[in-house]
Structure formats: C-alpha cells, structure tokens
C-alpha cells in the first residue's frame, strides 16, 4: 500500500482545519470609546450624558464600571443615574446621566473626572479616550469676575465678554494644523479609511465671533492658490471649520463645517511653508508659518491650551490621550 498520497491528504485536511480555526473571530474583543455630550455641568439641574460605544455589537451584556474623582462631591454637587454603564447584548452603546445639584454655597468651579474602570470583555485601545474632565459650574459665583455667572459662562476661568457668553473675543484663528500625516493608517485624519499624504492634511479654523462669511476668501501657500471658500461658507460665533486636502471626510468632526481643498490639495511642505488666508480683495487676514514646526512629526500641531496657547505636537499633550490629531474638536476630543 502506497502511504504517501494518504499522508498528503491527511496533511491537507489538517491545514484546512487549522486555517478554519485561526479565522474564527468570536474571540476578537470589541474596542470601547468614552464620550460626553458636554464638558460643563451647571449646578442648577444641568445634565450631561456620559456614553460608551463599541465598534461592534456586544455578544453578551457588558457592564462598564466608572471611576469618579475630582473636587466636586457626590450628592451635594451632582448625582449619577447609575454608577456604571450597561451595554445590552446585541447593542453597541450605553449611557448614564449626570445631574447638577442646586445649592446656595459659593464654591467656584469644581471638577468631576469620569474614567473607565476595569471593564471586562472589551479592548481599550491606547488611542482611546478613557477619561473625561467636567467643570461643575456654580451659579452663585463668578470665578473670573467678568459679569457672567459661572453657570452661564462658557469660559468660567477666563475673563470674557458678556455678549460672548463670558468668553474673550479671539477673532478668527488657526487652532490646529496637520501637514505631515503618519505614513500608515493612523495618519487617516479625514476618516475615509485611506491614508493619503495630501488628502489627510488639514487646517482647523476657529471663529470666536461674530458670525463670519468666508464666501470668496482664499487659502494659498508659498507657491500657489490651494482653496477658495464657496458661497454660503458662514461660520457662526464660536464655530469651527476644518479644511482637508481631499478625500471623503467621514465623521462628525465635532459638528464643524468640513470642506476639501478646491484645488485638490493643500500641499503644505514639510520643510517649511507659509499658509495665507486672504479676503476676496486679496487682503491678507491671517498667516501660518510651517517652518518653525517643520520637524516631520507624523502628527498635528495644536494650540495648547486650545485657542489661546502656543503650538505643540498633539500626541505629547496629556489631554490628547495619545491621539495624533483632533480635527473639529478640542485636543481632548470634546466639542468646542
């Protein structure tokens, strides 16, 4: 009897069995993300929703414990609808509500830090946001003495204008720039599933007010025109616009206005470039000089703190939790 063909057949069957076993996906854990719909909580019965989401439906019920810390005190400053978040089998999200507690004590701004506890059956990625800091605003005090009570002040620690909800008018500015996307998929800043050296470049603009009509304004670099803002490009007070080089931007981007470069790319040079915003008459409104930051960082440069600080590499800032960029949002991923 010739045993060689039989041996080959058995080996082939064994290989198919091993391949089938290795391709099972039941043991791949879903990844988790922590978000909030606001980062300021009024003591006057204000509410914030804290949510967790998975990148795939749960195959079993998952209990997500939360760690609560900060200077605010449970029961006297806030209450939780639950101490943890439940994600039911077949669902991919869950949430709890934090409610402010009204009192007559002058307390100033207190903090409430919500972070993920030791959650089982999920994968916590190194780039995921695992902690959120919330300002608990006292409606009996005006911490920055700008005439706007903390509960109504969008910038309770910085003196501002009454007409701007207690925030200073900063004008129209650039808050974040990505000119050197990382070379792998982590450089996919526009979220379209593809890393592209030009498409994933972006510039994040912030308008502190009043409302600004950018119709016909242009973006140029040192060599040529890169973008003309289309008619109807109106940025509200405290609004954000993100200009990507191209691609199909996919995501909420913090509710920002999102556009792609009308000339097909922004093409900021890694070795140094000068980006200029001009009005329809050609008058320069603002400029951004890449040259002092041209160290090919594979991540964005962002102001730290947002809007008022100097430009720093994104991932090295503690609040960024390792994220390489945050187009349309603050550096910690929360909305402006």
* pTM, rounded to two decimals: 0.59
Angstrom distances, CA of residue 316 to CA of 28, 267, 297 = 30, 25, 11
| Confidence at residue 156, expressed as pLDDT on a 0 to 100 scale | 86
Asked if the model's pLDDT at residue 7 lies above 60, the reply is no
| Confidence at residue 74, expressed as pLDDT on a 0 to 100 scale | 93
CA 259 to chain centre: 17
Q: Tell me, yes or no, whether 115 and 245 share the same domain.
A: no
Domain membership flag for residue 25: no
| Confidence at residue 27, expressed as pLDDT on a 0 to 100 scale | 59
- Cβ proximity of 151 and 42 under 8 Å: yes
| Confidence at residue 183, expressed as pLDDT on a 0 to 100 scale | 95
Of 36-40, 117-121, 152-156, 324-328, the range with the lowest mean pLDDT is 152-156
| The domain boundary residue, chosen from 148, 164, 180 | 164
| Confidence at residue 14, expressed as pLDDT on a 0 to 100 scale | 46
**In the numeric block, which tokens belong to residue 87?**
């994600």
Domain membership flag for residue 97: yes
Asked if the model's pLDDT at residue 6 lies above 60, the reply is no
Asked if the model's pLDDT at residue 84 lies above 90, the reply is yes
Number of structural domains found in the chain: 2
Q: How many CB atoms lie within 10 A of CB 302?
A: 28
Domain membership flag for residue 333: no
- 3-state class (DSSP) for residue 176: strand
Asked if the model's pLDDT at residue 127 lies above 80, the reply is no
| Confidence at residue 29, expressed as pLDDT on a 0 to 100 scale | 87
Domain membership flag for residue 9: no
| Confidence at residue 17, expressed as pLDDT on a 0 to 100 scale | 46
Residue 16 pLDDT grade (very low, low, confident, very high; cuts 50, 70, 90) = very low
Domain membership flag for residue 139: yes
- 3-state class (DSSP) for residue 205: strand
Residue 168 pLDDT grade (very low, low, confident, very high; cuts 50, 70, 90) = confident
Q: Tell me, yes or no, whether 182 and 316 share the same domain.
A: yes
Asked if the model's pLDDT at residue 8 lies above 60, the reply is no
Bond into 210 cis (ω within 30): yes
Write the CATH number for 158: 2.60.40.2030
Residue 4 pLDDT grade (very low, low, confident, very high; cuts 50, 70, 90) = very low
Q: Tell me, yes or no, whether 157 and 250 share the same domain.
A: no
Asked if the model's pLDDT at residue 18 lies above 50, the reply is no
Q: Tell me, yes or no, whether 184 and 239 share the same domain.
A: yes
Of 167-171, 244-248, 297-301, the range with the lowest mean pLDDT is 167-171
Mean pLDDT of 77-90: 94
Q: Tell me, yes or no, whether 160 and 186 share the same domain.
A: no
| Confidence at residue 147, expressed as pLDDT on a 0 to 100 scale | 86
Write the CATH number for 230: 2.60.40.1260
Q: Tell me, yes or no, whether 142 and 185 share the same domain.
A: no
What does the pLDDT look like over 134-161, one tens digit per residue?
999 877 788 888 888 887 888 888 898 8
Domain that holds residue 76: 32-164
Mean pLDDT of 229-255: 96
pLDDT averaged over the chain?
88
Q: Tell me, yes or no, whether 132 and 178 share the same domain.
A: no
Q: Tell me, yes or no, whether 158 and 181 share the same domain.
A: no
Going by the DSSP 8-state scheme, the letter that residue 304 receives in this structure is E
Strand-pair category, 131-137 with 40-42? parallel
Q: Greater confidence, 14 or 103?
A: 103
Asked if the model's pLDDT at residue 128 lies above 80, the reply is no
| The domain boundary residue, chosen from 106, 134, 164 | 164
Domain membership flag for residue 326: no
What does the pLDDT look like over 262-286, one tens digit per residue?
999 999 998 888 999 999 999 999 9
Asked if the model's pLDDT at residue 77 lies above 70, the reply is yes
Q: Tell me, yes or no, whether 160 and 179 share the same domain.
A: no
């Amino acid at each position: 009897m010739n045993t060689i063909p039989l041996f080959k057949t058995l080996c082939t069957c064994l290989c198919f069995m091993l391949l089938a076993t290795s391709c099972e996906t039941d043991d791949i854990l879903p990844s988790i993300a922590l978000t909030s719909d606001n980062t300021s909580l009024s003591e006057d019965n204000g509410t914030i929703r804290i949510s967790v989401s998975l990148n795939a439906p749960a195959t079993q019920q998952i209990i997500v414990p939360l760690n609560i810390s900060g200077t605010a005190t449970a029961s006297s400053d806030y209450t939780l609808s639950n101490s943890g978040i439940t994600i039911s089998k077949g669902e991919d999200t869950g949430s709890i509500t934090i409610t402010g507690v009204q009192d007559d004590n002058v307390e100033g701004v207190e903090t409430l830090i919500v972070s993920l506890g030791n959650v089982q059956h999920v994968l916590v990625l190194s780039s995921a946001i695992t902690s959120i800091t919330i300002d608990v605003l006292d409606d009996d005090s005006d911490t920055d003495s700008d005439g706007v009570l903390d509960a109504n002040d969008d910038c309770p620690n910085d003196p501002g204008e009454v007409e701007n909800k207690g925030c200073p008018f900063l004008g129209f500015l650039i808050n974040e720039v990505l000119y050197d996307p990382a070379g792998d998929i982590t450089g996919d800043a526009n979220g379209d599933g593809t890393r592209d050296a030009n498409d994933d470049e972006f510039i994040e603009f912030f308008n502190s007010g009043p409302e600004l009509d950018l119709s016909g304004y242009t973006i140029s670099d040192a060599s040529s025109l890169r973008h003309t803002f289309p008619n109807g490009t109106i940025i509200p007070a405290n609004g954000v616009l993100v200009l990507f080089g191209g691609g199909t931007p996919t995501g909420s981007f913090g509710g920002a206005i999102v556009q792609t470069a009308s000339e097909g790319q922004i093409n900021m040079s890694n070795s140094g470039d000068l980006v200029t915003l001009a009005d329809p008459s050609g008058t320069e409104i603002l400029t951004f000089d890449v040259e002092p930051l041209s160290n090919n960082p594979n991540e964005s440069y962002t102001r730290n703190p947002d809007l008022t600080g100097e430009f720093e590499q994104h991932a090295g800032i503690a609040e960024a939790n390792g994220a390489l960029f945050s187009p349309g949002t603050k550096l910690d991923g929360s909305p402006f």
